[in-house]
Structure 1
Amino acid sequence: MLQKLREKTTSGWLAFVIVGLLIIPFAFFGVNNYFSAQVATWVAKIEVPAPWWQLGKDTREISQDEFRSRFEQYRQRMRQTLGDAYDPRQFDDITVKRQVLDALIEEQLLLIAAERNGVVVPDAVVAREIMNIPAFQVDGRFDQTQYRLLLQSQGMTISGFERQLREDLVRQLLPNQIARSAFVSDADLDAFIRLRDQRRDIDYLALPVPRDVDETVTDEQVQAWYAERTDRYRSPERVTLEYVEIDASNIAVPTTIDEQTLRDRYQEQRARFVEPEQRLASHILIQVPANADAATEQRARDRAADLARQAREGADFADLARTHSDDIGSRNDGGDLGWIEQGLLDADFERALYALEVGGVSEPVRSSDGWHVILLRDVREGEVREFAEVRDALERELLESERERAFSELGGRLLDQTYRDPTSLAPAAEALGLELKRTGPFGRDGGTGIAANPAVIEAAFSRDVLEERNTSGPIELGPNRIVVIRVAEHEPSEPLPLAQVRDRIEDEIRAERRAEAAREQAEALLARARAGEALDVLAAEVGAELRQVRDIDRVTGGLDRAIVDEAFRLPRPAEGEVSVGSVALGGDSYVLLAVSGVRDGDPTALDATFRGALKQQLARAQSAIEVQAYIDALRRQFPVSVAEERL
């Protein structure tokens, strides 16, 4: 029977039906889906509708690896910024993680918008940006060797860096153009001044705590409070560390370098001491689409040739660039590309630039972006720095590199030792002749010495070091200074006995009662004030002093900030009336206040210079609002899905 079925299914109409049924799912889902599980690794994805002439849609994903890399960069940056105030626990908060993810999403949205609007950044603009980066300069001038060596030290290639820079510039172009379009009118400025410089008259009274608060606390109340809040009454978790430290400043290295070695190094790196010729250039770009036909190509070239002719006949090149150039990165600057040296631009562009005399205008030059017209504005001649001029600098570099080499070698040996035995530091310390040191006990808020370092605290309480009891990786304490740690002792957090915290609990119960009674009193008195009762009557009733403060502004000192903020938050009162409100100052402290007078600032009191500076400041604030509105619009245009559970 099986043989008959086999024969029927390998020939004839039944075989065609079965094969057809199999083809359909394979065609839609692919063979791989039948043999491998698909595990989603994205933390966010953006749906981008395809152009009207295409079917389907494009999906841009932000992977877990991308997010983790950016999040770690953010943590390192905040660690450097906050110093001793850095708390690694705050980075476990989903709100912080979402802030980092939202920044990545916004970057992708801006790239999508730039692509759909045909935004490109020419090679010349990328080159200008690179040459203007201070880290790539020596004595204020771009240095090709410094550029290459610095990228190598960061594990980056030149092509990879330039690709990333180009992407950054593309992403920034549209927001920058939106920001430039923001403006503030004189009427807007006057309205702002009237609000900013507004002054107000207020009356206020600090409410005393009600006298009838029950201060009696029973054993049952203490026990119930303790049972509901046990996690509040715990001993701090603490660790004691063993550690070894390597500090390059304590490593013995030679103090001088022999003359021949210095001369050999100079010859090896001679290109580094040659400052190449640089040329100050401007350009006009006539962009050509990648798939342009011959007629479109010719029209673009003819247009570029006509602009070159106008420039040679005396037309202002900067005006031509502002009017006609398709390079929005340099157009507003009259096509300015800054100082350029060979090796950074398209080869044809460079050949044309270096063939010009100062003041000369090129024929149209084709690049991947389109047709360029180039103006050479100035030339800086190259020069060679002789050995005597750079000898001392070379010696310092060699001595420092020797110290770094010794530091790197010793650090590598330490890591090798700890990898062999990740559960102890003693063998590594003994093998390398390093002192095995020990901290005192400290908690998650840190201690003294290395225990005050946020990175050490974070590592000490990490799962790998605290729970698995492994040695840490190298922790950087400063330039060429590292430490490797291990938890020697661990004191877990434990509930404190009730007897030890009884007095504290009784105080907290009484404080809560006082705060609740003060809140109820403030709400009741505020309701009466809003109903028309005068503050002086209410002040007399509760035994408080009514204070009058006149002519305060938004930055008035001598008053609690919360009182000033509430005074300017309350609405302007009608003629002969007051606006009343209350302020919670924390705990059982409340203030009742009334605004009795409001006087707007005078726009005519500011001189033209100050008005101009303030107008620019407001325009910058307005530009930030408009850029964010543009990004919000992109979020609505392109649906974004987020997988918070993968963060």
Structure 2
Amino acid sequence: MLDTFRKRTNNIAFTILILLIVAVMAMFGIDMSDKNGGGGGAAAFVNGEAITQAEFQQEMQARLQQYQQILGAQYDERLIMQMHIPQNTLRQLIQYKLLAQEASHMGIIVPDEELASHIRSLPYFQVDGKFDASLYNRLPNKGFEERRQRERLQVMRLQDYLQKRIRLAPSEAQRNYRLSESKAELKFAAINLSQIGKNASPTAAEIATVLGGDESKLREYYTAHTAEFTKPGRAHLYQIRVGLPFQASDAKKKEALAKIEGIKSRATTKNFSDLAKESSDDEYAKKGGDRGWVTEGTLGQSFETAIDSLAAGQVSGIVETSAGYFVLYVAEKEAREVTSFEDAKKKIATELAKEQKQESLQKERLSAWNAVLEKGNGLETQLSANGIKIETTGEFSLGQGYLPKIGDSEAILDAVFKLTKINQVVPKLIPHAGKYYYVKLAKLTRPKEGSPAKWTEAENSVTAGVQNDLLTKWIGDLQNRASIKETMQFDDGPAQL
């Protein structure tokens, strides 16, 4: 529970999670053109219940409108794909469906009278602040919309029900208050042990020992550092693109395909650059389609496959990607070069011997400094001599859950809580975020007894933190137990839950 006291100081995180999911379902009102209320096939199945293509398209349309309003002239459909907006939209629809299903399983119902009152309150069914039945009757499938709104109310009621069931004892709230009102300031140093011994060079004897030792370790290093012993292939690439907008219609795809086929039929190595200037619609058109040298492994799979199949001086067939159709020309090509294990053995042995020597020096230094700290002495002199800077955190609350300039370290916080005297040091260096931390107490202020209002505030803060932890875990467990099948395919795979 101490973790919760330290890390959680507000009650918004879980509330925001559910409200965001719910808000998606109401964003920009209702699409009056949806004639079947859920046709076009399924985008996903959640425990056998479909999320329709129509639902997905409606939410995508709402999100795209929102991004267009925010970005204005800077709106770019390629940015939408890079931000995984389609995947994230489907992910939130799946989470919403799971929550609605769980609400039904728990017996949370919404009476017809309450549903009717809620629908009458929706602004997109009102004129001058009053419900207009004619707007509602324009819906092509009122049953579908009523189900959506009923689920929305169920999810909100589920959230309220779960939060009300999680409360804490007053003693825990009081303890959190004392922590939050305790103020401290620390002196500290972030020690990067990897800098110690980094310039140490192994002797010839140390290298020979590694070289004559267990060869499997040398091979293990070779396998783990393949890139180090491989010079990737590369190609001097030209391209012509006929682009496609996001979610292009079949007619648009057919039109673009016909255009690229015409370009392909005319493309040769001699006229490719002129043809790119004339026909390509990407940023390389002005340069005759010249992308310069591209390195193996840095392009999309469809490009990599096409380039692998081409020799220098060849033009590709039509390459299809989510961004459109392409024709490629490889002007020059350099093959991948791999250093063999036998040729790399000496270099590997040298590197391993250096690592062993550096690790030994680091352990010696760490042991020596910890011995000083165990005696209650500081390390400022030794650290400064090694070019390590001593810093201060500034004053902060012990209940805020993280240390200024250091971050969220439970181990360091635990050690700081045990310090009671000014200039007292933590009796060992503590690892955190790839470094070791030296910590000394520079200032400490204890709180006075709080008023009833303070206790109530503290209780609410702690309760909200526990609610957030438990409910977030509960949603994760709910997803893990569910049967979720996505039928929509995206260029970089399904949505990630």
TM-score normalised according to structure 1 size: 0.41
> Which has the bigger relative contact order, CA under 8 A and spacing at least 6?
2
Which of the pair has more CA radius of gyration? 1
TM-score normalised according to structure 2 size: 0.50
